[in-house]
Amino acid sequence: MVLSKLVRRILNVLSGVVILLIVGPHMCAERIEPGMIGVRRSLEGGVTEEDFSTGYHLSIPFYHSWYALDGTFFYLEYDETKNQALDVRTKENNIIFIDLAIPYRIKPGQGWRIVREGFLDSYEDKVKSTATGILRENLAEFSNLDVQQPEVRRAVASKTLPILNQALDQYHVEATHVIIRGIRFRDQYEVKLQNKQLFVVQGRLDEARQRELAAKQETDTLEKSIVRDISLKVEEWNQKIEESKAQFEVDIAEINADAVKYTRQRRAEADALYSKLQAEGDLAEAQAEALGQKLKSAALATPAGLTYSAIEAVRNFEVGDFLLNSADAGFLEKFAGMAAWRRFFLGQ
């Protein structure tokens, strides 16, 4: 029985701890949404000198209270379409209506100052009233001609921005740009200004036409000068070409003459050498033939040559049909013996 009571107590304690772990962080924490600035106030310490960023932060129930300030950009607009354009007097004491926008935001780390100094519900109105005064004072530097020149408008806006931030510093905000979107005069003056601008544009157009005519005349003169120079150069180069051509023709003729002379000389030398070599060849051939005949005769005069001649004579010898008288005793002496034939063919 005692053990069961002890177990129940332990379970109750564990349940309480679990509930405390689950519910406690939500009861003792404040969540700051993205883009917001959290400012914490305590009952005894007042406003904490710190801006709390996105996330969960310690918050003791009934002891801490929280304020959420927008940490993104605000836009202060002077919009002509909403009849809220900024009216400013120019140097010529003419009223102009300026359509502009000023993006601004709470300075980083200074949101808690807005709460502590009591500007939480009024700093936007204070920013607008302060900015209106600064803008009217500084944009009054415009002249009637300045508003027509974009670079002058940008320069005046850039010059106005640091002055505006210096004045807005007391409310702990800062502007990032002064954007002039449009400038308009009163309707009556706008018509006069447009007519004046038309005259100015017409005058500038006339000046441009005069410059165009002058430039055209100068271009024509320059073009004629260029054409003349080109003609002179063409004539000069044609003359140089003709001179070079004539010189080339002379050089070519001399080269051709030298070539013909060289050809004839070489051909004559070749013909003479050919005739000489041909004569020498003919002479050598005749001498060789004579020498051959001489050697042949000498060879044939030897016993071997005589034998060769006899053999050739025998090969070519043909005995025709003839009648012999057998009763003639000289037949055997003339034809029957080898001695007779040796004497006949060899001459022995």
Question: Regarding predicted confidence, which is higher, 120 or 194?
Answer: 120
Rounded average pLDDT over 45-55: 91
pLDDT tens across 77-123, in order?
998 777 788 888 888 888 888 899 999 999 999 999 999 998 888 88
Q: What is the mean pLDDT of the chain?
A: 80
The yes-or-no verdict on residue 203 having pLDDT over 90 is no
Q: What is the pLDDT of residue 175?
A: 95
Beta bridge partners of 74: 104
Rounded average pLDDT over 136-144: 86
Question: Regarding predicted confidence, which is higher, 289 or 33?
Answer: 33
Question: Is the full-model pTM beyond 0.85?
Answer: no
Separation between Cα atoms, residue 241 and residue 235, nearest integer Å: 10
Q: Alpha carbon of 152 to those of 96, 142, 175, 280: distances in Å?
A: 15, 8, 20, 114
Is the separation of the CB atoms in 144 and 117 below 8 Å?
no
Give which of 78, 203, 191 is closest to 131, Cα–Cα.
78
In order of their start, the domains of the chain are 22-70 (no CATH), 74-185 (3.30.479.30), 302-315+327-346 (no CATH)
Separation between Cα atoms, residue 256 and residue 247, nearest integer Å: 14
pLDDT band (50, 70, 90) for residue 169: very high
pLDDT band (50, 70, 90) for residue 302: confident
Q: For residue 47, what is the enclosing H or E element? A: strand 46-47
Beta bridge partners of 36: 70
| Residues whose CB falls within 8 Å of the CB of residue 178, separated by 6 or more in sequence, listed in order | 100, 102, 135, 157, 158, 160, 161, 164
Q: Are strands 86-89 and 95-106 parallel, antiparallel or unpaired?
A: antiparallel
Separation between Cα atoms, residue 220 and residue 226, nearest integer Å: 10
Please state which of the ranges 49-53, 181-185, 270-274, 315-319 shows the lowest mean pLDDT. Answer: 315-319
Q: What is the pLDDT of residue 220?
A: 83
Q: Please state, as a whole number, how many other Cβ atoms lie within 10 Å of the Cβ of residue 93.
A: 7
